Structure 1
């Protein structure tokens, strides 16, 4: 019987496992020509994400990083959801990794006084679009993003979620 999925904040020992999770999904699964050098936040997670009300979580199964999600504190009660990735074998309702990561992020954001989340994704992540929409995110146009939103060149589709009390 396989062990449970555990969620917890990112630590330095998670770096290599996180890179091994994210880069193949971006490059091989979705054909996005992106490198680790194109994502300096991955080499500076504590400084980039784990400040203010921000945090970075990883899902682990039997010691292996199988999922990730990050909350970037944008100030003024706003947050950006970033780096949500789940390894293919752990996707779907059977494991519930994506939902557990998202609930953890939303609960944390609310507990730290955030009132609205934003996220950017690519047109290629169709399952992610459906997931975010099922979870209550509303699509927004790029012009509706706050000026402080850290927009990535690969992002072409954007969502927001109001965090009620």
Structure 2
């Protein structure tokens, strides 16, 4: 029997929800860094940088130290990009969760609670000027409570909500490095429908993309 409860968002959950979202997003920094370092173009840039520094300084040690500085700077830039994204989201729909998700009959937000602690969340919103498509957003589960069926239960809650309101499609976006999320969505019956490069310097350099998944709701 599950030791948690899925319930509708309340104002007292505000800080916990924003923190859970931020923690979940910032967890992706190491995986993104690994992805970037595996890219041939990134390895080429690092190699050329090392050779150039070696030719200028004539010192292997100084070149390696300088390369480490370059790597550290790149990681800080990546970290800054993630923090900017979190800040943007927290100034948009997560700034006023009541208004963004609870003010309409065709949107909602749920949290997962256990022992007074919020360990998961998900929201849904209708697409403006559409009676067919609803969007799943902000799905997140605390790191120490994953692989327990919570994310699946939250997705099912969103799917049922969309079905009850007569929507035909439940759509979502996720990053290319969130492999566990991809497996979850595909297991639940979502299909990948789009793949878009992130419109940033790092995104264009690395071909880092966001994927769109859609679930076709059956009557």
- TM-score (norm: length of structure 1): 0.84
Q: Which residue of 1 aligns with 2:7?
A: 8
Show the 5 A alignment for 1:97-112. Answer: 97-112=150-165
Q: Deviations over 1:125-165 (max 9, x none)?
A: 1100110011100001258xxxxxxx998961110011000
Q: Distance in 2 between matches of 1:73 and 1:87?
A: 26
Larger radius of gyration: 2
Q: Deviations over 1:89-128 (max 9, x none)?
A: 1111xx3211111111111111111110111111121100
Gaps (5+ residues) in structure 2?
30-78, 204-208
After TM superposition, give the deviation of residue 82 of structure 1 in Å: 0.4
Asked if residue 30 in structure 1 is aligned to residue 28 in structure 2, the reply is yes
Shift in alpha-carbon separation, 1:152–1:138, aligned structure 2, 3 A: farther
Checking the alignment, whether the CA contact within 8 Å between 1:116 and 1:161 is kept in structure 2 is yes
Checking the alignment, whether the CA contact within 8 Å between 1:49 and 1:73 is kept in structure 2 is no
Q: Distance in 1 between matches of 2:167 and 2:96?
A: 23
| Larger helix proportion of the pair | 2
| Larger strand proportion of the pair | 1
Query: Number of aligned pairs?
Result: 153
After TM superposition, give the deviation of residue 49 of structure 1 in Å: 1.9
Q: Distance in 1 between matches of 2:117 and 2:174?
A: 25
Q: CA RMSD in A?
A: 2.2
After TM superposition, give the deviation of residue 52 of structure 1 in Å: 3.3
